[in-house]
Structure 1
Amino acid sequence: MSVQWYPGHMNKARREIEEVMTQVDIVIEVLDARIPDSSQNPMLNTLRGVVPVLRLLNKKDLADRDRLALWLDHWRGSETVMAHPFSTQDKADVGKISQWVSQMVPHRGTAEKPIRAMIAGIPNVGKSSLMNALLGRRVAKVGDEPAVTKAQQKLKVTNGFQLLDTPGILWPKIENPDASYRLAVTGAVRATAINYEDVAVVGLKFFITDYAAALQARYKLKELSTDPVEVLKVIGSKRGALRAGGKIDMHKAAEVFLNDVRTGAIGPYVMETPEMIAHEEQLVEEAKAKKEAERQARLAAAIPQRQQDKNRKYRDEQAKQAHAQSNDENK
């Protein structure tokens, strides 16, 4: 089972992006450094075609540097992809964007031929904060809820550099259930579209396996259970997520944990590696192939039955006609 969230305005945004992509020289895709692959939009990759992309791995201060380096190595050498750790709060990072963009689009950058860059990304990765930082003024609404931006804006950074903002978009169906939960854990999916306890359990399972020491330090746990539900109960008891009678409020406990994950209170982390994603993609393809094979089998099995029904209907019609003809002859 996976988390799905695809509001109507996102479908409209997809059409708008498709329409203006022919006018774009480069895509600046803002990613969440904690989920470098899951925060990519495969639909955007399809729409941009051969247009180069600058991937800004935002929230670098919340990310595990060693794991982030694996992704930089993974993309290094591509002619159409450039990736850099990034923070909208780091003025040095913001100042380097014009340089990075010019490297990828060397044939433009003058007042007569400005570089036309599209800022894109899924909800809640920092697109609006990036625009405000680049322009040095508040022109885009910023919020901690996904899907704050819902309309395109065209803005001038310099005489040789223009920005085209787009609404944050997810894609109609998130095929990888693991990726969908990583999106939910890090806050890319609106709160009303998730089950807090389910998402927290998935997040805890990851931290128990990959960042156990950080989890123990945050919640002062002498021992760490391998059962994420039990760990969530302990977090609830330690943080006062209690109902009458001392019963753990699991929803409240989940809120506490997910807030700590999203704000970096537990420590820096990255939830995926290139090797992990390659394995998950293989499993997704195998599941799709199996589902298609089952569909074809059902279709094949249904054909004889449909033919039988057709033959039976034909015989019934023939019998009716014969009966009607016999009645006419007897009159």
Structure 2
Amino acid sequence: MSIQWFPGHMVAAQKKAAETMEFTDVVIEVLDARMPGASQNPMIRELGAARQRAHLKVLNKSDLADPKITDQWIQFFNALPKTKAIAISCKKSGDSKKILTACKLLAPHRSSPLKPLRMMIMGVPNVGKSTIMNAILNKRIAKVGDEPAVTKQQQRHQINDHMILVDTPGMMWPKIQYSSDGYILAINHAIGKNAYDEEDIAKELGSILLRVYPDYLKSRYAMNGDDAIRDSIDLLETIAKKKKLPLNKGLLDTRKVATLLINDYRNSLLGRISLESPESRDLMMKGHK
């Protein structure tokens, strides 16, 4: 199943972002550190490249991601032209301020009242962009919510006499090229619930965890060598039994256990997890050629 999600308001948001890009010095793209590749919006890259803008990749929620994998992504992005990458947690006091420092380094020719540094912050929904904005401005100006696409319109903020920051709505793109990206975006709640089935994405999540973080599963769900787990379906059934979830008409309630696994992951109860690395993404993309 291919997951696609592109609400109508994002068409207008894309057009407005293209207009603002003309008057932008640095594009700040907020990524989810657990899925830096999948959470890159190709439209943002294309808009920035067309104007040859400096690009800051902010790997947010790094406190939830595998630190070794995050380091690999930082090195990967820093090797790209006109690009700087940093890892932050928007929940940590002061982390968001690192963004302004990095932007100054990317555009040293602009940071004065006559030539203020003009920045535009962008990203897919639910990567923590609104929380970052509130931290940078030291006040609650951006609405924060659990559902993706809370911010609907672009907003301009004068940080001081030499820095301007434009906040944009979370934007997806019209067609997600790789099916695995759709699943990973849905797992991380960057896509509206109406666009996917929780059981499907729980199976995808289970497959990744069995392959990369099996010890986390064993620890969280008290699994041992007697549990014969061949695939993600076996995993969900085993979790349901371990958690003693009630039966639905005599059968395991797969929807309930799917929700349990997804929420345990989203709430970081399994451990610090990254769903993709530069190497795994490269292999995935080569497999689609």
With normalisation by structure 2, the TM-score equals: 0.94
User: Aligned AA for 1:67?
Assistant: I
Counterpart secondary structure, 1:53: strand
Q: Which residue of 2 aligns with 1:111?
A: 113
CA distance in 2, matches of 1:230, 1:278: 28
The aligned residue for residue 29 of structure 1 is 29
| Higher deviation after alignment, 68-77 or 210-219 | 68-77
Structure 1 residue 140 displacement after superposition = 0.4
Match of 2:3 in 1: 3
> Structure 1 CA distance, aligned partners of 2:18 and 2:90?
27
In 1: Cα distance, 2:151 partner to 2:182 partner: 21
Task: Indicate the structure with greater helix content.
Answer: 1
* Cα deviation, residue 240, structure 1: 4.7
Q: Is 1:275 matched up with 2:283?
A: no
Could you tell me how far apart the structure 1 residues matched to 2:18 and 2:202 are?
35
Contact 1:62-1:267 at 8 Å conserved across structures: yes
Q: Which has the higher contact order (CA 8 A, sep 6+)?
A: 2
Task: Identify unmatched segments of 5+ residues in structure 2.
Answer: none
CA distance 1:195–1:244, shift in 2 (3 Å): closer
CA distance in 2, matches of 1:263, 1:152: 29
Residue in 1 that maps onto 2:45: 45
Is 1:257 the equivalent of 2:264? Answer: no
Find the aligned partners of 1:141 and 1:92 in 2 and give their Cα distance. 20
Distance 1:232 1:244, change over 3 A: closer
Partner of 2:217: 215
**Whole-Å separation in 2 of the counterparts to 1:211 and 1:279:** 19
What is the percent sequence identity of the aligned residues? 39
* Cα pair 1:35 1:271 within 8 Å, conserved: yes
Task: Spell out, residue by residue over 1:77-106, the C-alpha distance to the aligned partner (whole angstroms, 9 max, x if none).
Answer: 434111011111122322222211110010
- Counterpart contact for 2:57–2:77, Cα < 8 Å: no
Residues of 2 paired with 1:241 and 1:117: CA distance? 49
- CA distance in 2 between partners of 1:283 and 1:222 (Å): 33
The alignment of Structure 1 onto Structure 2 pairs a total of residues equal to 285
- The residue aligned with 2:104 is 102
CA distance in 1, matches of 2:206, 2:79: 35
Equivalent position SS for 2:204: helix
Aligned-pair CA distance for 1:185: 1.2
Q: Which residue of 2 aligns with 1:202?
A: 204
- Are the aligned partners of 2:130 and 2:142 in contact in 1 as well (CA < 8 Å)? yes
Separation in 2, partners of 1:226, 1:26: 47
State the superposition RMSD in angstroms.
1.4
Tell whether the 8 Å contact from 1:28 to 1:53 is kept in structure 2 after alignment.
yes
Residues 290-305 of structure 1 aligned to structure 2 (within 5 Å): none
Whole-angstrom distance in 2 between the partners of 1:95 and 1:32? 18
